[in-house]
Amino acid sequence: MGLQSDVYVGELEHNGAQLQSPHRVTLDERNDFPSAWLPGDRGILFYSDRNGNWDIFQQRIDQTVAQEFVLGPDEQREPRLAPDGAAVLYWKYTTGSQPPAASGIHLLRVPIAGGAPQPVLDASAGAQFRCPSQPGRDCILSEEKNGRRQLIFTAFETVRGRKGEVAKMEHETTASPQWDLSPDGTKLALVGLEDQKNHIRIVDLGSSSTRELIVPLISAQLLDIAWTRDGTGFFVSTSSARESLLLHITLKGQVHELWKGHSPLSTPVPSPDGKHLAFAISSQNSNAWMLEFF
């Protein structure tokens, strides 16, 4: 018995305040996590351990069979679309180390039309990255320094690599904070920086100014966060001992409940047109056996 994560997709209505008819898209019995959509809402990109290691797949939301996108003997995870929509960036972890990639990880770029992967940059273990949806804007990389107590944000280009530091902040939690980049590439939104479970920190990259958005009536830990495609709010997953929630939260602090359950929710990813939301649900996976004539 163990947890199995599957990709679900539902239709968004009323500017993201309602989620209609979420349905399971990945039907295999392994772990699947969505992290991006293909251009033109042609389908989702997700990473899965269905081959015995983590590889990257693509799948239309009206189909039940996924297509291989990036495979290899190492670990390929967290595919995300480049700002120009012409390439996909993803992490490559070298296998054979425990924990994986303890000395570092590699960010690669592969054309959507096909071709050999090309290196973008190397980063320390635990790094995260996000890219805006506007061409010509920089992607952002985060790395933890000073005993994982400091979070450094660096701008980078998908071809030339690192540019320079754009933000720095301290955090007091042992878990890695989760964050997302606004669609126009000008702001960060973070959860999990301090002990305040229901706080969202918004950072303006141009001025380095910050403000705290306190989510009312929510006492559960905010786990994952994703900006809405129009930049007016967020999709957030939460978890407590009693339940898990998927929420839509506006910049004014208005909260709309999209999904409630007892299974853990994670990685909300809105489609480019803002009409669909992909996310992962983790549930218990077990097998029952019957023995006869013993």
- Domain span at residue 176 reads 10-16+23-285
Residue 40 phi, psi dihedral angles, 5° rounding: 70, 20
292 assigned to some structural domain: no
293 assigned to some structural domain: no
CATH of the domain at 45: 2.120.10.30
Tens place of pLDDT for every residue, the chain, 294 residues? 567 999 999 999 999 999 998 999 999 999 999 999 998 877 999 999 999 999 999 999 999 899 999 999 999 999 999 999 999 999 999 865 444 445 579 999 999 988 899 999 999 988 999 999 999 999 999 999 887 788 999 999 999 999 999 999 887 766 788 999 999 999 999 998 776 678 899 999 988 788 988 887 676 788 899 999 999 999 999 987 788 999 999 999 999 999 998 898 999 999 999 999 999 999 866 544 455 654
251 assigned to some structural domain: yes
40 assigned to some structural domain: yes
Q: Which two tokens stand for residue 210?
A: 């910050």
What is each CA distance from 150 to 142, 147, 173, 195, in whole angstroms? Answer: 10, 8, 10, 15
294 assigned to some structural domain: no
The span from the CA of 258 to the CA of 245, in Å, is 8
Among 210, 186, 214, 187, which residue's Cα sits nearest to residue 200? 214
5 assigned to some structural domain: no
149 assigned to some structural domain: yes
Q: How many domains does the chain have?
A: 1
User: By three-state DSSP, how is residue 41 classified?
Assistant: helix
pTM, 2 dp = 0.91
291 assigned to some structural domain: no
